[in-house]
Amino acid sequence: MKVLLVEDEPDLGASIVRKLHQEKYIVDWIQDGDEAWLAMRPIDRSYKQMQQFTSDASHELRTPLAAINATVETILDLEHLSEQEARDTLISIRRQNNRLACLVQDLLLLSRFDQKTQVTDRQPCCLNDLITDLMEEFSALASNADLQISSSLEHPQPLYVLADEDQILRLFSNLIANAIKYTPAGGYVHITLKRSTSDAVIEVKDTGIGILPQEQVRIFDRFYRIDTARSRSSGGSGLGLAIAKAIIEAHKGSIEVQSQLGKGSSFIVRLPASSVEEPLL
């Protein structure tokens, strides 16, 4: 067997095809150049995505690292340091360090989902209770942002899913945090829980800035942010929806976005409902 060495080129698909031609590997399925390009396109696309991801991840990690470095350098240049200055410096370093730690934790979580090594501990999980808890948790954040947050539980009995409760909590926390973050003061965030045949349907709806149709697929990509400055200033790294999507996929569910620019967005999550209405104790 002959092994083909492909140079480190950004256009991997093109590189493989070129190499096959150079080495006279005109195998049956590469009769014509165009078809070969088509066949290589998925490999090329995933290679480019991998490159983009590595570059985005490095950039995101570099930002807090550079900030820590700059803070330390500034302090080392001072001849005298008051106790207050030392304390302020440590607080600033701690903030950047926490950001770094969250980022690394999120990347590890995504990588475990990719490799299917993330443990998903499935227990009956009551969505009514979960939404009530989330409402309590987010009410202060919403009122600080001058928003109203409300919920309607449209299913008469408690609705259960067989799920990892921590992950489901994370998924809806990400969606609600986004709804609050991307809705201007005076707006509304509303959460609805209902049942549709075999699924539990949870909708997180806001009256916020909205998302253009061409952006609606891309927002689930890792590190993708429509308005980087706005997202970064509110602590976002662009991984929230990628994590939400990975959790939904691990639970065999689906997510849909409906949105109109300037009017608001709605994220609709469907999860297979558990046949148990009450958990078996």
Ligand X SMILES: Nc1ncnc2c1ncn2[C@@H]1O[C@H](COP(=O)(O)OP(=O)(O)O)[C@@H](O)[C@H]1O
Binding residues vs ligand X (CB under 6 A): 174, 178-179, 182, 206, 208-209, 211, 219, 224-227, 231, 236-242, 265
Least Cβ distance, residue 219 to ligand X (angstroms):
4
Token readout for 248 is: 């939904």
Binds 160: which of Mg ion, ligand X, none (CB < 5-8 Å by kind):
none
Binds 124: which of Mg ion, ligand X, none (CB < 5-8 Å by kind):
none
Of 39 and 226, CB closest to ligand X: 226
CA-wise closest residue to 118 among 269, 218, 243: 243
Least Cβ distance, residue 262 to Mg ion (angstroms):
20
Q: Which residue is nearest to ligand X (CB)?
A: 236
Helix (H) or strand (E) holding 206: strand 199-206
Of 21 and 263, CB closest to ligand X: 263
Binds 265: which of ligand X, Mg ion, none (CB < 5-8 Å by kind):
ligand X
Token readout for 156 is: 């008469």
Q: Which residues contact 99 (CB under 8 A, 6 or more apart)?
A: 64, 235
Burial of 199 (0-12, 13-18, 19+ CB in 10 A): middle
Binds 253: which of Mg ion, ligand X, none (CB < 5-8 Å by kind):
none
Binds 187: which of Mg ion, ligand X, none (CB < 5-8 Å by kind):
none
Longest CA pairwise span in the chain (Å): 76
Contact 85, 75 (CB under 8 A): yes
Residues 247, 202: Cα–Cα separation, whole Å:
14
Binds 227: which of Mg ion, ligand X, none (CB < 5-8 Å by kind):
ligand X
Least Cβ distance, residue 87 to ligand X (angstroms):
29
Phi, psi of 267 (to 5 degrees): -105, 120
Residues binding Mg ion (CB under 5 A): 178, 236, 240
Of 119 and 229, CB closest to ligand X: 229
Of 96 and 178, CB closest to Mg ion: 178
Least Cβ distance, residue 181 to Mg ion (angstroms):
7
Of 64 and 124, CB closest to ligand X: 64
Q: Which residue is nearest to Mg ion (CB)?
A: 240
CB atoms within 10 A of CB 204: 23
Of 174 and 274, CB closest to Mg ion: 174
Least Cβ distance, residue 167 to ligand X (angstroms):
16
Least Cβ distance, residue 29 to ligand X (angstroms):
39
Contact 190, 196 (CB under 8 A): no
Q: How is the beta sheet containing 254-260 ordered, strand by strand?
A: 148-153, 188-196, 199-206, 264-272, 254-260
Of 95 and 232, CB closest to Mg ion: 232
First to last CA, the chain: 60
> What angle is formed at CA 53 by the lines to CA 50 and CA 58, rounded to 5 degrees?
130
Binds 225: which of ligand X, Mg ion, none (CB < 5-8 Å by kind):
ligand X
Least Cβ distance, residue 246 to ligand X (angstroms):
11
